Structure 1
Amino acid sequence: MNARDPQLPLQPDEASQIGAFAQAMWDEHIVPELTHYIAIPAKSPMFDADWEKNGHIDTVLRRAAQWVEQQKVAGLTLEVIRAPGRTPVIFFEIPATKAGSTDTVLLYGHLDKQPEFSGWRSDLGPWTPKYEDGKLYGRGGADDGYAVYAALTAILALDRQGIPRPRCVGLIETCEESGSFDLPLYIEQLGKRLGNVSLVVCLDSGAGDYDRLWLTTSLRGNVTGTLKVEVLTEGIHSGDNSGVAPSSFRIMRQLLDRLEDAKSGHLLPTDFHCEIPPERVVQAQTTADILGEEVYKRMPWACGGDGGPVLPVTTDPLQVLLNRTWRPTLSVTGVDGMPSISNAGNVLRPFTAFKLSLRLPPLVDGNEAALKLKALLEDNAPYNARVSFVPDGRAGAYGATGWNTPDIAPWLSGALESASQTHFGTPVGYIGQGGTIPLMGMLQKGFPKAQMMVCGVLGPKSNAHGPNEFLHVPYGKRLTAAVAQVIAAHP
């Protein structure tokens, strides 16, 4: 065991060395490794049905596992766990260096990616990494291929200085962007090997700005699936038959009107709403005071009809934050059954299919919401049209449930504040996120007393899932150092 007294708080020179170590590791090792990672189209199974045959997920998993092992962390053991027909996971264990410690810190990330999307800058691309002005562009670097490298670097930063820490385990999955439907199997298999998890560090979240450490306080759930409306077996001449056969698109509009007020975007079924906890409203107001109009101005608005930008749903920063974190919203993210405009003849189309993404408040059960959404859309179809809603995922896990952080222990609150002041020079920020990380709900059920440090590099304009995604490298360096400092403060 290390000779350093584990009861001593982290000294300024130690914190400074942690920051310097993290910066050097990013410059010399992490950025080059992530450059290789971005170039590999390791799309999540939902977007690559032949993922196993194509081998891209295996490639990024193997590279990450090799990198972890090459760092020669004392006592580290690593295993790539595979179940037949399931995406694999990396599981590594590192014994405690703090005498008498029986707790475990669980560090989480994922390596699978969203699909390409369109609209990338002419000199950029999803699989074409480019490092420019401190930003590493390309798909998946920020969401969140960096996580396994940053997590291990945080541990190394402590060990190299002899700063005691608890046992650490890493869990890196390859199915997160598909809803983590393979993850419960591995959580069950690992069972007692996870240990007494008292702190979870999840590096798959976002930041309100790049000027402070941000702690995520909540995550929305999500239901995705395909809504299809069929009226004909083949396309027919619209001049002869429009007004006789109903438009599949018009029926689609009627079905969506059951779900959403088209004018306001408000979701109509009360089952998809929950009461917002008062403390989250107070935190959102504090964050709104910090970020102000930037919470909506940072978006890439198109030019509107009067020459100014398109307007947001609301310009009240508090309501913007609550809308994107604690209120349900509907997005149509894909379409089938419609030819491109250049190939669109005067034909009444036989069907219309929309890919729906329904974001749910943190306290709404995702699977129950998926089943209620299916019934809402399919029952009593207009004109007796053939309507089907097929949720993504697997039976029993059709929807992903959100997450609301448990009460933050005084030690963690103090450690977060100290880490933010040390490595950013500003107080810690608290923010809800609109995205979904299914693991968090699973872990909170399995380890109800564990503290949760959910954070990440997805700050303003980083644009995960869309074009020109980037990883803000200077923020990644400071976040890594902050994680190390919080682990060191674990009681």
Structure 2
Amino acid sequence: ETGEIIPEWLHIDLSKQLYSDAGEIVDVLGEALVTDFPFLEGVQPQHANLVEALLAQNWKPTLSITGADGLPSIANAGNVLRSHTSLKVSVRIPPGIESEPASEKLKKLLEENPPFGANVTFELDAAANGFAAPQMPPIIAEAVDFSSSKAFGKGSMPFYEGGTIPFLAMMQESYPNARFLVTGCAGPGNNAHGPNEKLHIPTVKSLTQCVVAVLAAMADI
């Protein structure tokens, strides 16, 4: 009924700070958080509240079916029994949930007591932790905010991206005392990871100004 993933061990507690940050993001992006997706007519998002929608997209677990075997194509389908059905699924977990223990619990959940005694086998393909950037030192945060105001006309703010970047989590584990400035040039019409992906040159120039300002501020630490 809700679309929520049920097992509590796949969830984290959402802090008041997360809600506050999400509210600021919603104030800037507004309905575009939903309308940027090509919903079919009549289809509704899981959450009408934009703050809840943003948090669900980025800080709650999700389940996606990414592939299937054992199901014939419609052109070749007949009224016959199948020998098996195999699904490849992706379970996205938020930062703070360890992927290896979560994978073991998921395997137990799926295999232990399937309906009607069905034979279910779970095989892990890959597991990776989510990443949450640590708090920046005040002098760096001030440089980011000031340079953003100069380059873009507005101050900086944190942003979330549902899904994981395993390399960043690995770096965080290897260098726990390091600070991260994770950014990118997702300017207008960039169509990231899609056909005709491109850089928006004015945004690239402005972002470069911000990075230079941060590097200069680091010299004073």
TM-score normalised by length of structure 1: 0.42
Please tell me whether residue 296 in structure 1 is matched to residue 34 in structure 2: yes
Give, in whole Å, the separation in 1 of the partners of 2:2 and 2:82: 29
Match of 2:146 in 1: 418
Aligned to 1:480: 208
Offset at residue 276 of structure 1 (A):
1.4
Consecutive unaligned residues in structure 2, runs of 5 or more: none
Give the 4+ runs in structure 1 shifted more than 6 A.
none
CA distance in 2: counterparts of 1:390 and 1:476, whole angstroms? 42
Return the letter of the residue paired with 1:424. F
Quick one: structure 1 residues 469 and 266, their matched pair in 2 at CA, closer, same or farther if it must change by over 3 Å?
farther
Structure 2 matches for 1:81-120, cutoff 5 A? none
> Is the alpha carbon distance of 1:379 and 1:463 closer, same or farther for their aligned partners in structure 2, counting shifts above 3 Å?
farther
- Taking a change above 3 Å as real, the CA distance of residues 463 and 333 of structure 1, as seen in their structure-2 partners, is farther
Deviations 1:30-89 (A, max 9, x none): xxxxxxxxxxxxxxxxxxxxxxxxxxxxxxxxxxxxxxxxxxxxxxxxxxxxxxxxxxxx
The one-letter code sitting in structure 1 at the alignment partner of 2:90 is S
In structure 2, the residue matched to 1:360 is: 93
Residue 468 of structure 1: how far off its partner (Å): 3.9
Shift of 1:369: 0.8
Kept in 2, the 8 Å contact 1:463–1:470? The answer is yes
**1:92-132: CA deviation from partner (whole Å, max 9, x where unpaired):** xxxxxxxxxxxxxxxxxxxxxxxxxxxxxxxxxxxxxxxxx
Q: Which has more strand, going by share of residues?
A: 1
Indicate if the aligned counterparts of 1:299 and 1:461 stay in contact, CA closer than 8 A: no
Q: CA RMSD in A?
A: 2.1
Give the length in aligned residue pairs: 218
CA distance in 1, matches of 2:91, 2:146: 37
Counterparts of 2:198 and 2:171 in 1: how far apart (Å)? 27
Task: Classify 1:336/1:478 alpha carbon distance in 2 versus 1 (closer, same or farther; 3 Å).
Answer: farther
TM-score of the superposed pair, with normalisation by structure 2: 0.89
- Aligned partner of 2:49 in structure 1 is 316
- For residues 460 and 368 of structure 1, do their structure 2 counterparts lie closer, same or farther at Cα, with a shift above 3 Å needed? farther
Shift of 1:463: 5.5
Equivalent residues of 1:293, 1:315 under 8 A apart: no
Q: Highest CA radius of gyration, 1 or 2?
A: 1
Identity %: 38
In the alignment, is residue 339 of structure 1 matched against residue 86 of structure 2?
Answer: no
Residue aligning to 1:265: 3
Segments of 5+ residues of structure 1 without an aligned counterpart are: 1-262, 305-309, 394-398
1:470 equivalent in structure 2: 197
| In the alignment, structure 1 residue 376 sits paired with structure 2 residue 103 | no
CA distance in 1: counterparts of 2:214 and 2:37, whole angstroms: 32
Equivalent in the alignment of 1:277: 15
Q: Kindly state the Cα deviation for residue 414 of structure 1 after the two structures are TM-superposed.
A: 1.0
How many angstroms does 1:469 deviate by?
Answer: 6.4
8 Å Cα contact 2:192/2:198 also seen in 1: no
Corresponding letter in the other structure for 2:44: L
- Aligned with 1:348 (options 74, 81, 86): 81
CA distance in 1, matches of 2:151, 2:67: 41
